[in-house]
Structure 1
Amino acid sequence: MERVVRLTLLGLLLAFGTAAPIKEDWDIYSFHINSTVTSRYATTVITSRVVNRVDAQKEIHFQVRIPKNAFISKFRMRIEGEMYDGVVKAKEQAQQQYTEAVSRGESAGVISSVGRTLEEFKTSVTVAALQKVTFELTYEELLKRTLGKYELQIHARPMQPVKDFKMDVYINEKPGITFVQVKGGLSTNALANAVTKTHAHNQAWVHFYPTEQQQVNCCGEQGMNGDLVVAYDVNRDVSLGDIMVSGGYFVHHFAPSGLPPIPKNVVFIIDRSGSMHGNKMRQTRRALLHILGDLAEEDYFGLIIFDNSVSSWKRELSQANSENLAAAKEFARNIRDAGSTDINAAVLQGAEMLKRNPRDGSASLLILLTDGDPTSGVTNKERIQDNVRKAINKKYPLYCLGFGYDVNFEFLETMALENNGVARRIYEDSDADLQLQGFYEEVANPLLTDVIMIYVGGIDLTKTNFSQYYNGSEIVVAGLIDNNTETFTPRVVALSKSIKMEFESEKDSRLESTGTISDHHLQRVWAYLTVKQLLDKELQLSGAGKENVKKEALELSLKYSFVTQHTSMVVTKPPGENTQVLHKPKEGEKPSRHGHGQAGVGHGVRFGFAPPPPPARMQPPDYDDQSVMLFAGYNPVMAESQDDLQYDSLDFHSMNVPPTDISATEVPPTTQVPWHHKFLLGAENQTIPLCYDVSAKHLKLLQDPDTGLSVNGELRQSLQGGLQEIVIHYKNDQRIEVNTNSITVRDGQHVKAFHWGQDHATAGSATLILRDNEMDVSIGDTRIVILLHQRKGEKLLWPVLRQFPSGNNAEGILVAKPAVFSILQGTSLSARLRFHNREVTALRTSAVDYSKPFAPTLECWSVSPELALQKELSDFLVTQL
Structure 2
Amino acid sequence: MCSTRFLIRAAIISFCILFANAANEQQDSESKLKTSVSVQGLVRHRYATVQISSLIENPSNESQETNITIHIPENAFVSYATLEVDGEVIRSQVQERKVVQQQYQLAVGTGATASQVSAARDANAFLISVNAGAKSNTLFNVTYEELLVRRKGRYEMTISVDPKLEMEYFKVDLEIKENKNFTFVNVPPFSSTLTPDDLDHTVQNEEVNIEYLEDAGHCKISYFKEANADGKVKSPGPFVLRYDVDREGKQGEILLLDGHFVHFLSAEKEKYNPAVFPKHAIFVLDSSASMWGSKLKQLQVAMSQILRQLSRQDVFSIVTFGNKATEWYMQGLQPSLGKGVYAVNRRNVADAMDFISRMQATGGTNIQAGLRRALYLAAKYRNIPLIPGVSEGANYTTPRPEAKKEVETLLMFLSDGIPTAGEIRLSKLLKSVHFVNTNVKASIFALAFGPTANYGFLRRMALQNYGFSRRIYESSDTAIQLQSFFQEITSPLLKNVTFTYLDNKVNFSSLTLREFPILFSGSEVVVAGKLNDDFEPEDQDDELIGSFSAQGTVLRVSNNITVPTEAIITANKTQVPTRKRRRYGVLEKIWAQLTIRQLLDNYLIEDFGDESTENKESDAADSQKLEDNNQQRALELALKYGFVTPLTSLIMVSEKKPLVVINSENLENDLKQPDQIHFSDKAVPPMLSPMSIQHAALYNKSTPSEKFEWLSTLLAENDSVTFIKPNGEEITRTVKIPSEEVDETLNECVFKSEDDTEKTGNCRPLLSCPSSQVPTFDEYFRRHCDFDSTTLAVCCLKS
Return the TM-score normalized by structure 2.
0.66
Q: 1:192 to 1:21 in 2, by over 3 A?
A: farther
Q: Match for residue 135 of structure 1?
A: 140
Q: Secondary structure at the match of 2:633?
A: helix
Q: Match for residue 584 of structure 1?
A: 664
Q: Match for residue 474 of structure 1?
A: 524
Residue 58 of structure 1: how far off its partner (Å) = 4.8
Cα pair 2:649 2:661 within 8 Å, conserved: yes
Is the aligned partner of 1:166 residue 2:166? no
Is the aligned partner of 1:441 residue 2:487? yes
Q: Secondary structure at the match of 1:340?
A: coil
Q: Match for residue 425 of structure 2?
A: 380
Q: Match for residue 209 of structure 2?
A: 196
Deviation readout 1:559-607 (Å, 9 max, x if unpaired): 11101111112222342x322222223599789xxxxxxxxx9xxxxxx
Residue 423 of structure 1: how far off its partner (Å) = 1.6
Counterpart Cα distance in 2 of 1:561 and 1:382: 32
Counterpart Cα distance in 2 of 1:490 and 1:579: 49
Is the aligned partner of 1:370 residue 2:419? no
Amino acid aligned to 1:145? R
Is the aligned partner of 1:490 residue 2:546? yes
Could you say which structure has the higher helix fraction?
2
Q: 1:524 to 1:192 in 2, by over 3 A?
A: closer
Q: Match for residue 444 of structure 2?
A: 398
Q: Match for residue 154 of structure 2?
A: 149
Q: Match for residue 280 of structure 1?
A: 295
Q: Secondary structure at the match of 2:187?
A: strand
Amino acid aligned to 2:142? L
Q: Secondary structure at the match of 1:451?
A: strand
Counterpart Cα distance in 1 of 2:130 and 2:74: 22
Counterpart Cα distance in 1 of 2:113 and 2:28: 25
Amino acid aligned to 2:79? S
Q: Match for residue 621 of structure 2?
A: none
Q: Match for residue 338 of structure 1?
A: 362
Match of 1:178 among 176, 183, 190: 183
Q: Match for residue 865 of structure 1?
A: none
Counterpart Cα distance in 1 of 2:458 and 2:107: 36
Residue 66 of structure 1: how far off its partner (Å) = 2.2
Amino acid aligned to 2:176? I
Q: Kindly report which structure 2 residues correspond to 1:607-646, keeping only aligned pairs within 5 A, or say none.
A: none
Q: Match for residue 112 of structure 1?
A: 119
Counterpart Cα distance in 2 of 1:475 and 1:51: 45
Q: Secondary structure at the match of 1:185?
A: coil
Residue 443 of structure 1: how far off its partner (Å) = 0.2
Q: Match for residue 199 of structure 2?
A: none
Q: 1:512 to 1:230 in 2, by over 3 A?
A: closer
Match of 1:226 among 227, 237, 244: 237
Residue 297 of structure 1: how far off its partner (Å) = 0.7
Cα pair 1:109 1:123 within 8 Å, conserved: no
Cα pair 1:32 1:46 within 8 Å, conserved: yes
Q: Match for residue 500 of structure 1?
A: 556
Amino acid aligned to 1:534? L
Residue 494 of structure 1: how far off its partner (Å) = 0.8
Is the aligned partner of 1:533 residue 2:598? yes
Cα pair 2:70 2:161 within 8 Å, conserved: no
Q: Kindly report which structure 2 residues correspond to 1:867-878, keeping only aligned pairs within 5 A, or say none.
A: none
Q: 1:452 to 1:472 in 2, by over 3 A?
A: same
Residue 210 of structure 1: how far off its partner (Å) = 2.3
Amino acid aligned to 1:25? S
Q: Match for residue 639 of structure 2?
A: 558
Deviation readout 1:751-776 (Å, 9 max, x if unpaired): xxxxxxxxxxxxxxxxxxxxxxxxxx
Amino acid aligned to 1:495? Q
Residue 187 of structure 1: how far off its partner (Å) = 12
Q: 1:29 to 1:96 in 2, by over 3 A?
A: closer
Cα pair 2:58 2:135 within 8 Å, conserved: yes
Deviation readout 1:349-371 (Å, 9 max, x if unpaired): 21121122222543221111122
Q: 1:312 to 1:511 in 2, by over 3 A?
A: same
> Where does structure 1 lack aligned partners over 5 or more consecutive residues?
1-19, 592-600, 602-881
Deviation readout 1:77-133 (Å, 9 max, x if unpaired): 233443211221111110011112333274423243454x84134142443x54433
Residue 549 of structure 1: how far off its partner (Å) = 0.9
Q: Match for residue 850 of structure 1?
A: none
Amino acid aligned to 2:461? M
Return the TM-score normalized by structure 1.
0.60
Counterpart Cα distance in 2 of 1:329 and 1:31: 47
Q: 1:78 to 1:341 in 2, by over 3 A?
A: closer
Q: Match for residue 354 of structure 1?
A: 378
Match of 1:465 among 505, 515, 524: 515
Deviation readout 1:609-632 (Å, 9 max, x if unpaired): xxxxxxxxxxxxxxxxxxxxxxxx
**Identity value in percent:** 30
Cα pair 1:180 1:230 within 8 Å, conserved: yes
Counterpart Cα distance in 1 of 2:502 and 2:360: 55
Residue 222 of structure 1: how far off its partner (Å) = 5.5
Amino acid aligned to 1:484? F
Cα pair 1:240 1:256 within 8 Å, conserved: no
Q: Secondary structure at the match of 1:384?
A: helix
Q: 1:159 to 1:327 in 2, by over 3 A?
A: closer
Counterpart Cα distance in 2 of 1:193 and 1:403: 33
Counterpart Cα distance in 1 of 2:328 and 2:62: 71
Q: 1:318 to 1:22 in 2, by over 3 A?
A: farther
Is the aligned partner of 1:321 residue 2:345? yes
Cα pair 1:113 1:590 within 8 Å, conserved: no
Counterpart Cα distance in 2 of 1:399 and 1:567: 29
Deviation readout 1:390-448 (Å, 9 max, x if unpaired): 22227231111122222222221111100111122222222222222111111001111
Counterpart Cα distance in 1 of 2:675 and 2:184: 36
Match of 1:523 among 588, 612, 617: 588
Q: 1:31 to 1:334 in 2, by over 3 A?
A: closer
Residue 26 of structure 1: how far off its partner (Å) = 6.2
Q: Match for residue 317 of structure 2?
A: 302
Amino acid aligned to 1:462? T
Q: Match for residue 332 of structure 2?
A: none
Amino acid aligned to 1:197? I
Q: 1:167 to 1:391 in 2, by over 3 A?
A: same
Q: Secondary structure at the match of 2:558?
A: strand
Residue 212 of structure 1: how far off its partner (Å) = 3.4
Q: Match for residue 105 of structure 2?
A: 99
Cα pair 1:271 1:305 within 8 Å, conserved: yes
Cα pair 1:450 1:494 within 8 Å, conserved: yes
Aligned residues: 563
Q: 1:280 to 1:245 in 2, by over 3 A?
A: same
Residue 485 of structure 1: how far off its partner (Å) = 5.2
Amino acid aligned to 1:564? T
Counterpart Cα distance in 1 of 2:292 and 2:661: 40
Cα pair 1:306 1:342 within 8 Å, conserved: yes
Amino acid aligned to 1:108? S
Counterpart Cα distance in 2 of 1:227 and 1:203: 23
Q: Secondary structure at the match of 2:219?
A: strand
> Where does structure 2 lack aligned partners over 5 or more consecutive residues?
1-25, 194-203, 330-337, 383-403, 538-542, 574-583, 609-623, 677-697, 699-799
Counterpart Cα distance in 2 of 1:250 and 1:22: 57
Q: 1:343 to 1:498 in 2, by over 3 A?
A: farther
Deviation readout 1:469-494 (Å, 9 max, x if unpaired): 11111111111112415576132211
Amino acid aligned to 2:189? G
Counterpart Cα distance in 1 of 2:117 and 2:344: 50
Counterpart Cα distance in 2 of 1:156 and 1:369: 29
